[in-house]
Amino acid sequence: MKLFSKEDLNKYHQSLTYDDISLVPTEISRIKSRKETDTSCEFLNEQLSLPIISSPMESVTGLEMANELANLGCLGILNRFDSSLRKILEDSSNGKEIKGVSIALNTPIDVVEKLAVQNYIICIDTANANNQEVLQKAEEIKKKFNVRIIVGNIAHGSTLMELEDAGVDAVRVGIGSGSVCTTSIQTGIGIGQVSSLLDVYFAREESNLKIKIIADGGIKSPGDIVKAIALGADAAMLGRMLAGTKETPGEVIKYDDQLWKKYRGSASFGVKMKNEFIEGEETMVPYKGAVKNVVDGISDGLKSSMSYMNCFNLNELREKDTFTILSDSSFIERLPKK
């Protein structure tokens, strides 16, 4: 069996997704128990217990989710689609635990100033960060307020230096890979998440940049988060994995003797509420209970993988360079059988 390094995977002749690869443990592990592993990290001057960020989607991150994730040692990016932004501007006590807020390109600068005064991380929430308006907005905000800035999204590392020069501190990587995103179908744009992450990672390494990489999209399980970190991501942004939990916006719906909650893409009709180009779907996901249960499951999976891979901390995990490419049959073989 051939073992692939990150460089090998980056040069592979096809675009790769998380389901196409697997980590391969090749060392005798020094770790007796997964409890010995440390999943904490520093991200944009925030100390996190897990490298997890919630997506600023209308059906994922409201005030309750952002506050609870902060309590759990993760980072919640408050969505910009409802009254959440107005609430924290009017009463800072509403968002006392919140660390990050998303804004639109057309958000007034006086609103950004109020957020900057409270030292929020500013996430410029767009579908395409390779855009002159995004660069200008980031540069304007950084020069005026010197706040921490996240932008998204990109699928390739060719413009990474321009983003850092504009003052961007972290970039969301992934176009068209979200479970309720139809961008690739509607526009023909996007590549597999593994290939996207590696291209951006090597662009950062080759130019010695400091910008942080956020793996955004295509993550279905704790194992995918492990792969994202091993591929060089500094953090993983989650939408569907957090959707359907108690803390997400919206009511619990009972249908066909099961409990559900809505989950929809940021460019779906349900969010836009206007007849314009739609690049997102709306669906229902099973109700999952408290988000703490999801976060605990992610923590357990990450720690267990680190024990297999002989990694005491996340930096050691990022240094691992032993992957394999799975055939369709190999992937199917690993799935639980009923």
Coil, strand or helix at 268 = coil
pLDDT score of 142? 98
Token representation of residue 247: 């803390």
Alpha helices for the chain (secondary structure H): 6-10, 63-71, 84-90, 109-117, 132-145, 160-165, 183-187, 193-207, 222-230, 269-272, 291-308, 314-318, 328-333
Q: At what angle do helices 132-145 and 109-117 cross, to 10 degrees?
A: 50
Place of tokens 């924290």: 88
Token representation of residue 196: 């996207």
With a cut of 50, which residues of the chain have pLDDT below it?
268-274, 277-278
pLDDT score of 269? 40
Phi first, then psi, for residue 225 (nearest 5°) are -65, -45
Edge-first strand order for the sheet with 253-255 is 253-255, 258-264, 282-286
pLDDT score of 272? 46
Q: Which residues are catalytic?
A: 181
Coil, strand or helix at 15 = coil
pLDDT score of 39? 98
Report the distance separating Cα 202 and Cα 158, nearest Å.
Answer: 10
Report the distance separating Cα 170 and Cα 172, nearest Å.
Answer: 7
pLDDT in tens, 174-193: 997 765 776 767 777 778 99
92: DSSP letter: G
Coil, strand or helix at 278 = coil
Got the DSSP string for 100-140?
A: EEEE-TT--HHHHHHHHHTTPEEEEE-S-SSSHHHHHHHHH
pTM for the structure as a whole: 0.92
C-alpha distances out from residue 96 to 63, 100, 160, Å:
10, 11, 33
pLDDT score of 159? 95
Token representation of residue 14: 């096809």
Token representation of residue 102: 């998303």
pLDDT score of 273? 46
Contact 68, 247 (CB under 8 A): yes
pLDDT score of 90? 74
| 6-23+31-247+291-325: CATH class | alpha beta
280: DSSP letter: B
